[in-house]
Amino acid sequence: MKIPLDVICVRSGVLCPRCRRIIESNEHSELEVDIMRYLLELENDNNFRFLKNAGYVKSYKVDSTIIVIIDIHEHVSRQSLIRLGRALEERLGLKVRIVQKSPDPKAFISQLISPARIQGIDSVWTPDGSVQHIVRIPRSDARLLPLRVDVLESLLSSIYNEVYRVKISY
């Protein structure tokens, strides 16, 4: 697995000056070091062979849930990602959701809010020239959202560095 820190530093738990600077600059956190260590351990498991060609992107801790974004270059079933999340849950003691990095925001967001569905994503240009993206979710799926709407909005905004709003439509 490709990780942004040195493999030796992550496995040993003792960070070199370069890795320490990355942690101190808040590019990655101490929690992410633990997640990277567990992912490196799990890549030798036969159930998670796809991790050998994968790359770690970022993790976000929201409430008692950790969202782990992984860049996987091959097709991996949703069930495999759920199993990987459960394996990380056992080690971290927190709820973990694995999301596959995607260049298409709709595909990424649909993984993030699954089992709820996306009705559509609209882009609205405001008079000041900025863009807001509105993710519409059917009212019938609102109870299926894994995260609160406000948490989801702030998470999407921090991931994409743009303003995202989640609207429950009728």
Say if strands 65-71 and 95-100 run parallel, antiparallel, or are unpaired: parallel
pLDDT surpassing 90 at residue 74:
no
Whole-number percent of the chain with pLDDT over 70:
100
- Tell me how far apart the alpha carbons of residues 77 and 121 are, in angstroms, rounded to a whole number: 24
Q: Which residue has the tokens 């062979």?
A: 49
Q: Please state the pTM of the whole predicted model.
A: 0.87
Of 138, 136, 130, 135, the residue nearest 162 (C-alpha): 130
- Tell me how far apart the alpha carbons of residues 67 and 99 are, in angstroms, rounded to a whole number: 7
Domains (ranges, CATH) in the chain?
1-101 (no CATH), 102-170 (3.30.300.20)
pLDDT digits (tens, 9 = 90+) for 110-157: 999 999 999 999 999 989 989 999 999 999 999 999 999 999 999 999
